[in-house]
Structure 1
Amino acid sequence: MKFTLYSRSYCHLCQDMLDALLALQTPERPFTVDVIDVDADPALVARFDELVPVLFAALDEPELCHYFLDEGKVRAVLTSPA
């Protein structure tokens, strides 16, 4: 399982979401998180700008959440069959 977190380096909400997400990881439910700095790409700034942090489980599906971690949605993804 891999999550993608669109973030900013100076964003405390982004760090809070990453910390909350990582707290859900267990040996039985391992996952990775790609943290992408939106400020590194003008197209990402145009798309996400003030929405960060934005979390995706799959980039071809709608976002799971933004601003704050939706623990229920993340747990549902983690427990769904692959």
Structure 2
Amino acid sequence: MTEPERTAAKAYVRLLRTAQAVLADPATAPRALALLAGPMAEAEESLRAAGLAGNEARLFALVEDLQTDTCASGP
């Protein structure tokens, strides 16, 4: 995995976790778009920089590899 790919995978995971947190809380859900704008922009730019825009299969494979690496190395 190249560094730009790792950056993109991490940005996607951050976006996913942020979206889950925002949408799980009834107090923040109505402001989801505003709260997610930054993480969405970061993920989009990282995907573009890594050449992954529109290549979801490759992105998901990288995220899986990233999660496997994280689990293998421990907390």
Which has more helix, going by share of residues? 2
Which has more strand, going by share of residues? 1
